[in-house]
Structure formats: C-alpha cells, structure tokens
Amino acid sequence: MRQLIATCIAFALVLGIGEAKADGQKLRIISWADYVPADLIAAFEKQTGIEVEVTLSNNEEMISKLRATGGAGYDLAQPSQDRISEAQREFGIYKSFDLSKVKLEEFQPALLNIVRRNTTIDGKVYGLPYLWGTDGLVANTKRAKITDYADLCRADLKGKTSIRLRRPTLMAFAFAMGKDPFALYGNPKAYAALMDQVGDELIACKPNFKFFFDNKDQLLNGIRSGEVVAAMMWDTGGWTLNRENPDIQYIVPRSGALGWLDTFALPAKGRNDAAVYAWINFAMRPENAARIIKSVGNFSAANGTAPLVDPRLKAQFVAAFPDAALKGIHWYPAIPAGLEEIEGRVLDRIKAAN
C-alpha cells in the first residue's frame, strides 16, 4: 500500500510539472475582434515558442468573466481604460504591472500618461494603452451639412439620422449642450440631472432617427443606401465609407470628439505574466503595431508607426484632425460606481418614449 501511495504521489508530481510547463508555453488573451491578428500571433509563436489563445469579448463580458473567477482564466485582458479602476476597487480582478518589465519607450507618452492617470490605484498601475479611436459624426455631405451632434435633430433631417442608444451618445449630446458630463462624475445628483436633460433632448429628437443602430453593419449599410444621411459614428467606420464614396465624411464635432483607449491589463490570477510582458513588448514594436492597425483600422498607442500606416488612412486622420494632435478630444475618465445605472434608466426612458 505504501509503495502504491508513493507511486501515486510521484505520478501526480509528474502531472503537475507537465501542467506547469504547458502553462508556461501558453498565453491566454481575452480581447476584442481583430485586436490580435493571426499573422502577429504566428510571428510571436515562431519567435518565442509560446502558444497564443484568444477569446473574443467586450468590456462587459471581460468584467463579468473575471469577476466570476476572481480574475482567473486569462493571462491578459484588454478592457477600455475607463473600465479598470472601479472594477478593481470593487472586485479585485486585476493585478498591477511591474513597469520595469515593460519597454515604456515604445508607448506614445501622451497616451501612456492618460491611461496611467486613469488606472493608477494607491500608486500602482493597472493599465497600459494599446489602441485608441474617436466617436464623432459621419454625413453624406451632398445631402446633409452638419457640425455638431445636435444637428442630427434638425427638422430638415427628420427620419434620416441615426444614433446608438448607448452611453457614448449621452456623453456626446451633453457636450453639444455645452455641459461637461465628465466633470460631474463625482456628483451623482448633478450627473443624474444632466442625464435627464440629455434624455429629454433625445426623446424630442426621436422622429429624426431612422433607427437606433445595434451593430456596425446596420449603420454602414444604412448610410451606403442613403437611408441614413448623417449619424453619430466612430472614425474608422466613417473612413471606410469615405474610401467608397468621397461625399461621405467623418466629421469632428464642434463640441469635440469622444476618445476611447483600450488597454493591456493583467487578470489577478493569470498564470503566465512572463508571456504577457513578452507579448506587450512584441506588440508595441512599430512594425508589429502597424500590423495591428491594419487589422483593426484604429490607431495604436505605439511610437513610430506613422511611416508604416496606410497612406490613405493617415491622410484621412490628418483631414479630421488637422493639427495631427490629440487636443480637443474628450477622453473617457474612469467610471465611478453607480453612474451606469443612472445612464441605464435614461436610456430605457428614451427607448420607451413614443
């Protein structure tokens, strides 16, 4: 019996060693569609011998899955920078970065500073920038002349515009009203009052909306067909349409575009931090970051990609942002607890209104 027990223990140890080795050779990433292109994975696997496994997700699912497991199941997550600090405070689903293992010189300093400011808790950094983009307006300029979000509600555009019934629309219309919703994040009562005002504006505007779009194909096809002549839209969607039809243009609103930043974040119980740091340093090399830009159509937070970006995309960016700077963009700050519930009630009210 004693010999049998010893044999079983030895066998278990062998299995444990085998599992540890397997973990060391796999990097499990939870991320958005197109963020981890296959050709980049192949190059990384060839260079390091580390297998990459990708699960497609979004902000809400990432938080939900990591919350359910206490931060286990993945080695790297890619949430938006405004969704990290509160989730960490409430659920403890992330661990901080060891910045000595990251080649910080590979990051654009301005974007690195934004994300570090929004994801630092008690002096520890929980997020690093990966990709960024903006929400603004898209219009067929032969059929609609618009300069700000509120123009989507003009009488001459009745039944010809579209928005997505989500929180970015509430933020956009608040800025168009001359208010700064982000400045009220620390005052829930004042924030709720502003959201109610925005809700009233959007309810009054409902006759103008051909539909509330649910996905990008619905909106892209609506604009291509002429069913929709102006909409609130993300930059790369507008630039895609512009390549097909020069009359369709992405427009930075007079009150400012909304800026999002998606990140690198470390799940609390990830098993392969070494592979994560290797991947981050690999992905942020200019030539590799350019591959990611090509895959997803958004811009990277990496330094030195400008000479490697598709000239058409670069020209479209410069046309939208003539000073080639990030000035005037309203970057999403970290969302405090309770605000999304306020927004949800307003969005439900807009949807239910006749």
Q: Is residue 323 part of a domain?
A: no
Q: Is residue 316 part of a domain?
A: no
Shared domain for 345 and 232, answered yes or no, is: yes
Q: Is residue 345 part of a domain?
A: yes
Shared domain for 192 and 337, answered yes or no, is: yes
User: Would you state the structure tokens that stand for residue 2, as one six-digit string?
Assistant: 């004693």
Shared domain for 141 and 229, answered yes or no, is: yes
Q: Is residue 317 part of a domain?
A: no
CA–CA dist 193, 128 (Å, integer): 33
Q: What confidence tens digit (pLDDT) does each residue in 132-175 have? A: 999 999 999 999 999 999 999 999 999 999 999 999 999 999 99
CA–CA dist 322, 54 (Å, integer): 36
Shared domain for 199 and 305, answered yes or no, is: no
Q: Is residue 178 part of a domain?
A: yes
Shared domain for 213 and 147, answered yes or no, is: yes
Shared domain for 347 and 229, answered yes or no, is: yes
Contact, 23 vs 15, CB < 8 A?
no
Contact, 126 vs 152, CB < 8 A?
no
Shared domain for 255 and 289, answered yes or no, is: no
Q: What confidence tens digit (pLDDT) does each residue in 63-120 have? A: 999 999 999 999 999 999 999 999 999 999 999 999 999 999 999 999 999 999 999 9
Average pLDDT, the chain: 92
Provide the residue-wise pLDDT of the chain in tens; the chain has 354 residues: 434 333 443 433 333 333 333 445 899 999 999 999 999 999 999 999 999 999 999 999 999 999 999 999 999 999 999 999 999 999 999 999 999 999 999 999 999 999 999 999 999 999 999 999 999 999 999 999 999 999 999 999 999 999 999 999 999 999 999 999 999 999 999 999 999 999 999 999 999 999 999 998 999 999 999 999 999 999 999 999 999 999 999 999 999 999 999 999 999 999 999 999 999 999 999 999 999 999 999 999 999 999 999 999 989 988 888 875 567 899 999 999 999 999 999 999 999 998
CA–CA dist 145, 277 (Å, integer): 47
Shared domain for 113 and 169, answered yes or no, is: no
Q: Please, what is the end-to-end C-alpha distance for the chain in angstroms?
A: 77
Q: Which range marks the domain in which residue 289 is found? A: 2-130+262-311
User: Would you state the structure tokens that stand for residue 191, as one six-digit string?
Assistant: 């924030």
Shared domain for 340 and 217, answered yes or no, is: yes
CA–CA dist 301, 102 (Å, integer): 14
Q: Is residue 199 part of a domain?
A: yes
Shared domain for 267 and 255, answered yes or no, is: no
Look up the CATH number of the domain holding residue 281. 3.40.190.10
Give how many domains the chain has, as a whole number. 2
Listed residue (317, 170, 352) closest to 235, CA to CA: 317
Give a three-class secondary structure readout of the chain. Answer: CHHHHHHHHHHHHHHHHHHHHHHHCEEEEEECCCCCCHHHHHHHHHHHCCEEEEEECCHHHHHHHHHHHCCCCCCEECCEHHHCHHHHHHHCCEECCCHHHCCHHHECHHHHHHHHHHHEECCEECCEEEEEEEEEEEEECCCCCCCCHHHHHCHHHCCCEEECCCHHHHHHHHHHCCCCHHHHCCCHHHHHHHHHHHHHHHHHHHHHEEEECCCHHHHHHHHHHCCCCEEEEEHHHHHHHHHHCCCEEEECCCCCCEEEEEEEEEECCCCCHHHHHHHHHHHCCHHHHHHHHHHHCCEECECCCHHHCCHHHHHHHHHHCCCCCCCCCEECCCCCCCHHHHHHHHHHHHHHCC
Shared domain for 178 and 281, answered yes or no, is: no
CA–CA dist 144, 306 (Å, integer): 32
Asked whether the whole model's pTM tops 0.75, one would answer yes
Q: Is residue 281 part of a domain?
A: yes
Shared domain for 163 and 234, answered yes or no, is: yes
Q: Is residue 328 part of a domain?
A: no
